[in-house]
Amino acid sequence: DIVFVLNGPNLNLLGTREPEIYGSTTLADIAAMLEQKAGEKGLTVDFRQTNHEGVLVDWLHEAHTEGAKAVLLNAAAYTHTSIALLDAIKAIDVPVIEVHLSDPATREGFRHLSYVGMAAVDEVKGMGANGYAVALEKAAAL
């Protein structure tokens, strides 16, 4: 089974981006860690990052056409703005698990609304890079 791991804007800068909030682990570190964990579970991870909203929409559609078991989605700031992502998640049969390194609920008010969360089957927040591993466990158990 394949699990898509889709990362949104500015997450390519993980490691140097506001490390006091997001930690010093890079996205490449997270990808390597997840690929190893997935291998142990007999899963394949397709790990991607884009700064473009429509590309995330395309990749959600692709997860559906590829018959992915689940999507782990850290839509970053688009989480809080994108009705297009909400609609895409609703349009596909693949379960989506919302992931955030930080806990948006404890931050600025504009991060409290999650369009992704309106359609996601589960969420992992505030656990830093390890949250991706926790989300993969949840995906494996679906």
Identity at 132, one-letter amino acid code: Y
Residue reference for tokens 């404890």: 106
- The order of strands in the sheet holding 2-7 is 44-49, 2-7, 70-74, 96-99, 122-124
> Is 8 or 95 the residue whose CB approaches ligand DQA more closely?
8
Minimum Å gap between C-beta 65 and ligand DQA is 26
Annotated binding residue at 87? Answer: yes
Binding flag, residue 101, ligand DQA (CB under 6 A): yes
- Binding string, residues 109-138; x marks residues near ligand DQA by CB under 6 A: --x---------------------------
State the catalytic residue, choosing from 78, 100, 115, 132.
Answer: 100
Question: 33, 102, 121, 130: which one contacts ligand DQA (CB under 6 A)?
Answer: 102
Tokens of 86: 């909400």
Please give the backbone phi and psi of residue 76, each rounded to the nearest 5 degrees, phi first: 50, -135
Question: 53-65 vs 83-91: helix axis angle to the nearest 10?
Answer: 0
Per-residue binding letters, 58-87, with ligand DQA (x by CB under 6 A): ----------------x-xx-x--------
Q: Binding residues for ligand DQA, how many (CB under 6 A)?
A: 10
Q: Is 100 a catalytic residue?
A: yes
- The encoded tokens of residue 81 equal 């703005």
Neighbours of 52 (CB within 10 A): 11
Cβ(22)–Cβ(89) under 8 Å?
A: no
**Annotation: binding site for substrate:** 74, 80, 87, 101-102, 111
> Where in the sequence numbering do the catalytic residues fall?
22, 100
Residues of the shown chain interacting with ligand DQA in the complex, contacts defined by CB under 6 A = 10, 74, 76-77, 79, 100-102, 104, 111
